Amino acid sequence: MKAFGKSYKDVEAATGGTFKKLPAGGYIAEIKAVEDVPNKEYLRVVYDIATGEFKGFYGDDWGKEHPYAHCMYWSYKESNKKYFKANMTAVDKTNLTDFNKALEGSKDFDEQQLVGQKLGLVIGYEEYRTDRGELRQRTYVAAVRSGQAIGQGDFTVPELKKLEDKMPSTGSPVAGFEAVNEADLPF
């Protein structure tokens, strides 16, 4: 094991059970980073909470190391442009900008103009299964709205999105296999 040196005495020990969770609800968020992924035709939009009790929620070391935990993917494929436009409309209404107009006929829209812009987000929770098979919950962006809509309470917080459990329970046959009676096994 490597030697930690003298700085080890200054390290504050982590305390278990102190992980804070962002409650489901409506929030005004700020766009912190945008990455264009042109071969997949989407923007990866990293956000943080901009106002209220949870302002800067993802600004800690964990949030900085795990941007995937607070990002959205805005597809601009032809089949998804109406959703992309809805997201841009939320940004425009919140910030009194006109990005939608700038996108009309533009071949060179600089997506970095979105950094620092605010918008409304409705955050919900969904279940997922870890690599170890444990059932957990995580946040997801249920809806993108204008900041004004969030401020006026014009949104609905979704119920917990339950995972369709596709793992077979003990004793259940798996597709393509027959159930076997243990008494019939030769060992």
* pLDDT digit string, tens, across residues 66-106: 999 999 999 999 999 999 999 999 999 999 999 998 888 77
Q: Examine residue 120 and state whether it is found in any structural domain, yes or no.
A: yes
Q: Examine residue 170 and state whether it is found in any structural domain, yes or no.
A: no
Q: What is the pLDDT of residues 27-80, one digit of tens each?
A: 999 999 999 999 999 999 999 999 999 999 999 999 999 999 999 999 999 999
- Percentage of the residues of the chain whose pLDDT score is greater than 70: 79
| pLDDT attached to residue 113 | 95
How far apart (Å, rounded) are the C-alpha atoms in residues 26 and 142? 10
Q: Examine residue 94 and state whether it is found in any structural domain, yes or no.
A: yes
User: Domains in the chain: how many in total?
Assistant: 1
Q: Examine residue 85 and state whether it is found in any structural domain, yes or no.
A: yes
Q: Examine residue 123 and state whether it is found in any structural domain, yes or no.
A: yes
Does the pLDDT at position 4 exceed 90?
Answer: no
- Percentage of the residues of the chain whose pLDDT score is greater than 90: 70
Q: Examine residue 178 and state whether it is found in any structural domain, yes or no.
A: no
| pLDDT attached to residue 104 | 86
Does the pLDDT at position 168 exceed 60?
Answer: no
| pLDDT attached to residue 85 | 96
> Hey, what are 17's tokens?
């059970």
Place of tokens 């401020």: 151
How far apart (Å, rounded) are the C-alpha atoms in residues 44 and 28? 18
Does the pLDDT at position 139 exceed 90?
Answer: yes
Beta pairing partners, 121: 27, 144
Average confidence score pLDDT of the chain: 87
Q: Examine residue 141 and state whether it is found in any structural domain, yes or no.
A: yes
Place of tokens 């027959």: 178
| pLDDT attached to residue 108 | 79
Q: Examine residue 187 and state whether it is found in any structural domain, yes or no.
A: no
Structural domain for 133, as ranges: 21-164
How far apart (Å, rounded) are the C-alpha atoms in residues 64 and 22? 16
Place of tokens 């302002």: 55
How far apart (Å, rounded) are the C-alpha atoms in residues 155 and 41? 28
Does the pLDDT at position 167 exceed 60?
Answer: no
Does the pLDDT at position 149 exceed 80?
Answer: yes
User: In this structure, what DSSP letter does residue 172 have?
Assistant: P
